[in-house]
């Protein structure tokens, strides 16, 4: 090999580099098909209005509902978090569709998707990437990890060590990965959908409060009704429905919807209601640690998104009331004596929502 001529990098390195270079405003990486230019949901970013957002999100929700049956409200809440550039923690028993929910969203959004199976021996560099010495160029090159995707599924996140869990903190908060002092921006939009099993705790590492606070929502899918479970069984008789759905929008349109949400008006009544709810968590006798100001901010943003998904350009207190348990419950710590008596964070939050009046 002649000096100064770089060797051809392995295929997996070049694929990771494609994912790293994609920012949502250019050609999609190899293997991803862009939406046709004349597609009705492939609108110019400046043209998006609240009715446009409501129309596109309706298409996304309908598409995901072809895979996750009878859980429209959960799908809607997860989409609300994505529209706010937030991350979702799916806490539920195995087999209810947590992984399929993430895959269905990634497909519907026409975005890149990576799944990371968290295990006790997973290293931070297995998530973020690592610098590799290229002998041909005589320099280190960054090989992007699986976190460089639009939708990242962190499966069973509580099975990895705290050191590996912390590798996601910068990704979730700053939208970048820093390796060897060099910051590498993540592709946009960027959403982490993490799963954990609330029943089995053997061999797990509970998420610290600092990381729980990074998740915009904690959602539970729950068991399907008998009719929906019958539909799930019949739909998968020959082929899984995830293989039949296609993209209904693209990354650029998702970014445009995120910008459009900032124009949704939050009425003073709704503003005060948000602050009243968060303040109540800090003085409730059953709560040891109340919600942080990040809880107020996330409740404000998700209420804007839910209003837009509903086709409204203003927020109502009812939007706040519906989202409060999903946005705030994982940000509070219930006192030990209350936990012994059987109280849960969700139950305490529901009591607060019922007790705090809407002026």
pLDDT for the residue 286? 93
pLDDT for the residue 45? 52
Q: Are residues 222 and 92 in contact, defined by beta-carbon separation less than 8 angstroms?
A: yes
pLDDT for the residue 28? 37
Q: How far apart are CA 195 and CA 160, in angstroms?
A: 12
* Domain edges within the chain: 1-26+41-262, 264-359
Task: Kindly state which CATH superfamily the domain 1-26+41-262 is placed in.
Answer: P-loop containing nucleotide triphosphate hydrolases (3.40.50.300)
Q: How far apart are CA 293 and CA 275, in angstroms?
A: 9
Please choose, from the candidates 149, 141, 124, the residue with its C-alpha nearest in 3D space to the C-alpha of residue 20: 149
Strand, coil or helix: what is 243? helix
pLDDT for the residue 298? 96
Q: Are residues 266 and 314 in contact, defined by beta-carbon separation less than 8 angstroms?
A: yes
Q: How far apart are CA 189 and CA 356, in angstroms?
A: 35
Per-residue pLDDT of the chain (359 residues; tens, 9 = 90+): 444 434 333 333 344 444 444 344 443 343 333 334 344 455 445 568 899 999 999 999 999 999 999 999 999 999 999 999 999 999 999 889 999 999 999 999 999 999 999 999 999 999 999 888 888 888 888 888 899 999 999 999 999 998 888 888 889 988 999 888 889 999 999 999 999 988 877 778 888 888 888 999 999 999 999 999 999 899 888 889 899 899 999 999 999 999 999 889 998 999 999 999 999 999 999 999 999 999 999 999 999 999 999 999 999 999 999 999 999 999 999 999 999 998 999 999 999 999 999 87
Task: Kindly state which CATH superfamily the domain 264-359 is placed in.
Answer: Magnesium chelatase subunit I, C-Terminal domain (1.10.8.80)
Task: Look at the block and give the residue holding tokens 């021996």.
Answer: 121
Please choose, from the candidates 60, 95, 56, the residue with its C-alpha nearest in 3D space to the C-alpha of residue 78: 60
Quote the Cα angle for 159-91-150, to 5°.
80
β-strand partners of 139? 134
pLDDT for the residue 115? 94
Query: Tokens standing for 295?
Result: 């809880």
Between the CA of residue 299 and those of 17, 205, 212, 272, 316, what are the distances in Å?
Answer: 35, 27, 15, 12, 12
Q: Are residues 104 and 67 in contact, defined by beta-carbon separation less than 8 angstroms?
A: yes
């Amino acid at each position: 090999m002649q000096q100064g001529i770089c060797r051809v990098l392995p295929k997996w390195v070049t694929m990771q580099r494609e994912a790293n270079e994609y920012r949502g405003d250019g050609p999609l990486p190899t293997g991803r098909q862009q939406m046709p230019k004349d597609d009705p949901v492939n609108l110019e970013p400046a043209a998006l209005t609240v009715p446009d957002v409501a129309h596109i999100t309706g298409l996304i929700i309908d598409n995901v509902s072809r895979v996750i049956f009878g859980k429209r409200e959960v799908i809607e809440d997860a989409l609300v978090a994505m529209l706010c550039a937030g991350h979702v923690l799916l806490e539920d028993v195995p087999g209810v569709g947590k992984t399929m929910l993430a895959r269905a969203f990634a497909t519907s959004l026409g975005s890149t998707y990576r799944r990371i199976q968290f295990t006790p021996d997973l290293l931070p560099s297995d998530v973020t990437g690592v610098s590799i010495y290229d002998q041909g160029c005589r320099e280190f090159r960054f090989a992007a990890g699986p976190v460089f995707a639009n939708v990242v599924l962190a499966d069973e996140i509580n099975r990895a060590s705290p050191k590996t869990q912390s590798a996601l903190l910068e990704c979730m908060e700053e939208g970048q990965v820093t390796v060897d002092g060099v910051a590498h921006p993540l592709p946009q939009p960027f959403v982490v959908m993490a799963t954990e099993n609330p029943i089995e705790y053997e061999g797990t590492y509970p998420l610290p409060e600092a990381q729980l606070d990074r998740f915009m929502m904690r959602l539970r899918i729950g068991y399907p009704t008998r009719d929906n479970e019958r539909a799930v069984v019949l739909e998968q008789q020959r082929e899984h429905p995830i293989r039949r759905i296609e993209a209904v929008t693209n990354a650029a349109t998702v970014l445009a919807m995120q910008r459009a949400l900032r124009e949704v008006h939050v009425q003073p009544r709704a503003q005060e209601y948000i602050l009243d709810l968060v303040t109540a968590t800090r003085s409730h006798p059953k709560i040891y640690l109340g919600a942080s100001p990040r809880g107020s901010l996330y409740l404000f943003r998700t209420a804007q998104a839910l209003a837009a998904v509903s086709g409204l350009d203003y927020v109502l207190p009812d939007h706040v009331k519906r989202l409060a348990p999903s946005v705030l419950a994982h940000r509070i710590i219930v006192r030990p004596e209350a936990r012994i008596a059987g109280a849960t964070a969700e139950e305490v939050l529901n009591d607060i929502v019922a007790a705090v009046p809407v002026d």
